[in-house]
């Protein structure tokens, strides 16, 4: 486990600050410093790589006992890129060549620069990555590489990209391999192409779904291929060090941004497959902010995508955010240290703060400094020393810790996001649906994994699968989920599951293989009730379940248990046995409804499904009316067990009861050093406002 901070983004900070800043970092308990190694700065003259400033910083860090993480910013291109490769520009959806510019928060190169599908641009980028990897391969304090920052490639593009000749050629090659030639493409797209030269993607949403979805899928695969390109370039010269990358937001939250299409920066699971580990950026007090549950969802998404590989919190907000000439909330020390505890509890092994000093570039200037001028720097650094001291004292234990495997999964289908974007130009409905269930699980304190549709082998260790926005189900995932249910699994399936194939072709209800396997079918879309709710019955409890989008009444056999009906006595929610398992099918989208408005009904439904599958919370952590602001995760560290309790609320007296205590008679609270009595698998402790506790027992 390491704590680090981003420091150098040339030419900031100026050299006069370096020695003192690096000393203060070490005094604050940090383990490492990250340096942005920008292609546009290092190769400012073609063929000449200058590392003098980085060499000095790496040496200073080594003298102070700090490791170094090098973040290779190959997406900020040298100012000469278009002069040397004039035909290498990106082309937007209107057919215009994209004019590159300096990026809002970077002063020493161009974005988006040249298209990395252009062979000469790619070769120049590879040369930079290989050269810097070779240059620092022998650095004794090199900790790791972050090879792609927030998987950015089209920042400041003037439209949707890229439609340059090189990318269109790659798209056609991708289609050729995917569909087995032009005849295969014609069958999939239901066209009569006679030449690959005639094949183009739609350039905007609202077009025929098939053209849009296939191009979005190509862009996602292209991001994974580019990740592999960067990994191989660095590892060819420096295979001994850990190579990571990170996204700006998890794929599960990627609606599309500005001119960026949904998932054009890649699907996290595919990117992680190409790396030693993967991470994400998190700025909880920027803009609308990220609450306790939302932060948990983001870290769980990264952990799930890594599938056992190392997870980093690759950017964590250091100081007050800025998006222009404004002020936003200062980052208080308790919240910041709580974010670190949340990350460690969920298995993260690295936290990198953005950044040490307040920025001086553009709209981010005056913000984000861990040691910044927002009035709380000294308090933050003092709190950081305490967290770092705790980690140093228990480093072996924390390094070996991993969370207990979850038994509940939330399905994430990239194709569903692409379908949503093809229709709306945003994937907001899909994002709300998926994140609604995850947020409910956070508040219920039920551990969970995200299951990406093309990595459905992760189902093997689960008992429950929640299936939000399941309109597109890839064939392999569909078959795997049916086996999961028949083998004893429980699923909650939202409306119109399997209604579209992977190319975006609509299927009539009797053509949907997945729903036929469940023995339940839709009766067609209807408008929502006036109040946007449906009544549901769970045992002796009655609820009004908020829904969204539309409703589809259901046709189910008499053997199915009906849990909700409309005014015409048509089922809206049924419980149906399938083999050894059970499917709960709901004819609408309650996940979206929950994302917009927390409600007891969906939480009760999820709990009922989990109980049906024998999934119960391992611990009950009771703090009276402050329960919803408490988070906990537990897991194993060698022969020991650790329970992390994070308090986002006021001072609390907490009672903890759980089966994993087993026959233990005592537990050590590692942060305070207290020894707690455990009687009948229960212990009690006091937890101050904003504080965390870590219980250890054997």
Confidence of residue 624 (pLDDT cuts 50, 70, 90): confident
pLDDT mean over 84-91? 98
| 312-349 pLDDT per residue, tens | 999 999 999 999 999 999 999 999 999 999 999 999 99
Which secondary-structure segment (H or E) carries 215? helix 209-235
Residue 622, pLDDT > 90, answer no
Q: Which pLDDT value is given to residue 623?
A: 83
Q: Which long-range contacts (CB under 8 A, 24 or more apart) does 287-295 make?
A: 287/321, 287/323, 287/328, 292/342, 292/442, 292/629, 292/631, 292/646, 292/648, 293/439, 293/442, 293/443, 294/439, 295/339, 295/342
Question: In this structure, what CATH number is given to the domain that contains residue 145?
Answer: 3.20.20.80
Q: Which pLDDT value is given to residue 629?
A: 80
- In 618-681, at which residue ranges do the beta strands (DSSP E only) sit? 619-622, 630-637, 640-647, 652-658, 666-669, 674-677
For residue 546, being part of any structural domain is answered with yes
For residue 197, being part of any structural domain is answered with no
pLDDT mean over 267-277? 98
Tell me, yes or no, whether 512 and 550 share the same domain.
yes
Share of the chain above pLDDT 90, in %: 97
pLDDT mean over 626-644? 90
pTM beyond 0.95: the answer is: yes
Six-digit token pair at 87? 């035909």
Tell me, yes or no, whether 412 and 353 share the same domain.
no
Pick from 65, 50, 64, 54: nearest CA to 19: 64
DSSP reduced 3-state for 564: strand
For residue 166, being part of any structural domain is answered with no
Bond prior to 162 in cis (omega within 30° of 0): yes
Instruction: Name the percent of the chain in helix, strand, coil, to the closest 5.
Output: 35, 25, 40
| Domain end position, chosen among 612, 628, 646 | 612
Tell me, yes or no, whether 554 and 466 share the same domain.
yes
Question: In this structure, what CATH number is given to the domain that contains residue 587?
Answer: 3.40.50.880
CA distance 436 to 606: 12
CA distance 86 to 164: 12
Q: Which residue has the tokens 């794929």?
A: 251
| Domain end position, chosen among 612, 634, 657 | 612
pLDDT mean over 126-142? 98
For residue 490, being part of any structural domain is answered with yes
pLDDT mean over 366-390? 98
Q: Which pLDDT value is given to residue 122?
A: 98
Q: Which pLDDT value is given to residue 511?
A: 96
Confidence of residue 277 (pLDDT cuts 50, 70, 90): very high
Tell me, yes or no, whether 589 and 630 share the same domain.
no
CA distance 152 to 346: 26
Residue 628, pLDDT > 90, answer no
Tell me, yes or no, whether 671 and 605 share the same domain.
no
Tell me, yes or no, whether 397 and 429 share the same domain.
no
| 670-686 pLDDT per residue, tens | 999 999 999 999 999 99
| Domains identified in the chain, total number | 3
CA distance 247 to 281: 6
For residue 172, being part of any structural domain is answered with no
The residue ranking higher by pLDDT, 246 or 625, is 246
CA distance 9 to 133: 18
Tell me, yes or no, whether 347 and 467 share the same domain.
no
Tell me, yes or no, whether 556 and 645 share the same domain.
no
CA distance 10 to 44: 12
For residue 5, list its beta bridge partners. 33, 353
Six-digit token pair at 85? 């490769």
| 445-463 pLDDT per residue, tens | 999 999 999 999 989 899 9
pLDDT mean over 173-186? 98
Tell me, yes or no, whether 354 and 425 share the same domain.
no
Q: Which pLDDT value is given to residue 626?
A: 59
Q: Which pLDDT value is given to residue 458?
A: 84
Tell me, yes or no, whether 421 and 381 share the same domain.
no
Residue 50, pLDDT > 70, answer yes
| 116-133 pLDDT per residue, tens | 999 999 999 999 999 999
For residue 313, list its beta bridge partners. 280, 351
- Candidate from 445-459, 497-511, 565-579, 627-641 with smallest mean pLDDT: 627-641
For residue 548, being part of any structural domain is answered with yes
Tell me, yes or no, whether 556 and 660 share the same domain.
no
Residue 557, pLDDT > 90, answer yes
pLDDT mean over 356-385? 97
Residue 627, pLDDT > 70, answer no
| Domain end position, chosen among 589, 612, 635 | 612
For residue 120, being part of any structural domain is answered with yes
pLDDT mean over 200-210? 93
Using alpha carbons, list the distances in angstroms from residue 561 to 269, 313, 573, 586, 587: 37, 44, 9, 12, 14
Share of the chain above pLDDT 70, in %: 99
| 397-447 pLDDT per residue, tens | 999 999 999 999 999 999 999 999 999 999 999 999 999 999 999 999 999
For residue 202, being part of any structural domain is answered with no
End-to-end, the C-alpha distance of the chain in Å comes to 22
Residue 66, pLDDT > 70, answer yes
Question: In this structure, what CATH number is given to the domain that contains residue 685?
Answer: 2.60.40.1180
Tell me, yes or no, whether 636 and 588 share the same domain.
no
Query: Domain range holding 477?
Result: 408-612
pLDDT mean over 692-696? 98
Six-digit token pair at 608? 């009922």
CA distance 689 to 346: 21
């Amino acid at each position: 486990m390491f704590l680090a901070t981003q420091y150098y983004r040339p030419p900031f900070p100026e050299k006069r600050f370096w020695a003192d800043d690096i000393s203060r970092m070490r005094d604050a308990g940090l383990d490492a410093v990250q340096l942005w190694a920008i292609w546009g700065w290092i190769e400012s003259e073609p063929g000449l790589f200058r590392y003098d400033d980085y060499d000095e910083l790496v040496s200073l860090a080594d003298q102070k006992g700090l490791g170094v993480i090098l973040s290779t910013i190959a997406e900020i291109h040298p100012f000469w890129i278009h002069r040397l490769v004039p035909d290498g520009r990106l082309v937007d959806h209107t057919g215009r060549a994209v004019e590159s510019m300096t990026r809002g928060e970077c002063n020493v190169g161009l974005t988006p620069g040249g298209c990395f599908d252009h062979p000469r641009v790619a070769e120049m980028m590879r040369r930079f990555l290989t050269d810097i990897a070779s240059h620092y391969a022998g650095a004794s304090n090199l900790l790791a590489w972050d090879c792609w920052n927030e998987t950015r490639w089209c920042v400041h593009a003037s439209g949707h990209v890229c439609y340059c000749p090189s990318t269109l050629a790659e798209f056609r090659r991708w289609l050729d391999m995917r569909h087995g030639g032009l005849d295969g493409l014609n069958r999939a797209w239901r066209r009569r192409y006679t030449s690959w030269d005639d094949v183009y993607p739609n350039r905007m949403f609202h077009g025929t779904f098939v053209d849009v979805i296939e191009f979005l899928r190509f862009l996602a695969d292209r991001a994974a291929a580019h990740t592999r390109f960067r990994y191989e370039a660095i590892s060819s010269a420096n295979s001994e060090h850990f190579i990571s990358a990170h996204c700006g937001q998890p794929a599960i939250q990627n609606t599309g941004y500005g001119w960026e299409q949904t998932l054009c920066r890649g699907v996290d699971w595919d990117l992680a497959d190409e790396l030693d580990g993967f991470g994400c950026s998190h700025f909880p007090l920027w803009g609308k902010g990220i609450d306790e549950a939302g932060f948990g969802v983001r870290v769980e998404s990264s952990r799930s995508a890594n599938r056992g590989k190392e997870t980093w919190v690759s950017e964590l907000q250091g100081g007050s955010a800025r998006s222009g000439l404004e002020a936003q909330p200062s980052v208080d020390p308790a919240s910041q240290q709580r974010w670190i505890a949340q990350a460690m509890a969920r298995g993260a092994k690295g936290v990198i703060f953005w950044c040490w000093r307040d920025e001086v570039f553009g709209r981010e200037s005056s913000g984000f400094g861990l040691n910044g001028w927002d009035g709380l720097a000294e308090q933050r650094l003092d709190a950081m020393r305490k967290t770092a001291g705790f980690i140093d004292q228990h480093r072996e234990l924390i390094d070996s810790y991993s969370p207990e495997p979850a038994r509940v999964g939330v399905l994430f289908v990239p194709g569903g996001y692409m379908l949503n974007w093809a229709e709306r130009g945003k994937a907001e409905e899909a994002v709300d649906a998926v994140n609604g269930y995850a947020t409910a699980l956070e508040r219920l304190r039920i551990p969970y994994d995200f299951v990406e549709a093309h990595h459905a082998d992760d189902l093997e260790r689960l008992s429950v699968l929640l299936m939000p926005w399941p309109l597109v189900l890839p064939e392999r995932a569909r078959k795997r989920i049916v086996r999961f249910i028949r083998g004893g699994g429980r699923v909650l399936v939202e409306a119109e599951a399997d209604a579209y194939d992977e190319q975006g072709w609509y299927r009539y209800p009797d053509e949907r293989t997945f729903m036929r396997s469940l023995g339940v079918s839709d009766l067609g879309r209807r408008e929502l009730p006036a109040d946007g709710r449906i009544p549901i019955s769970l045992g002796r409890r009655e609820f009004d379940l908020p829904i969204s989008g539309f409703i589809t009444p259901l046709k189910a056999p008499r053997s199915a248990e009906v849990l909700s009906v409309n005014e015409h006595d048509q089922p809206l929610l049924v419980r149906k046995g399938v083999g050894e398992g059970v499917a709960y099918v709901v004819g609408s989208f309650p996940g979206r409804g929950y994302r917009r408005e927390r409600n007891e009904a969906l939480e009760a439904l999820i709990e009922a499904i989990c109980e049906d599958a024998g999934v119960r919370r391992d611990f009950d952590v009771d703090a009276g009316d402050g329960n919803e602001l408490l988070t906990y995760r537990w897991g194993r560290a060698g022969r020991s067990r650790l329970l992390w309790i994070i308090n986002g609320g006021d001072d609390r007296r907490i009672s903890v009861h759980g089966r994993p205590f087993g026959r233990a008679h005592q537990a050590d609270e590692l942060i305070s050093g207290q020894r707690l009595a455990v009687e009948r698998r229960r212990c009690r402790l006091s937890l101050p406002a904003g504080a965390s506790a870590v219980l250890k027992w054997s």
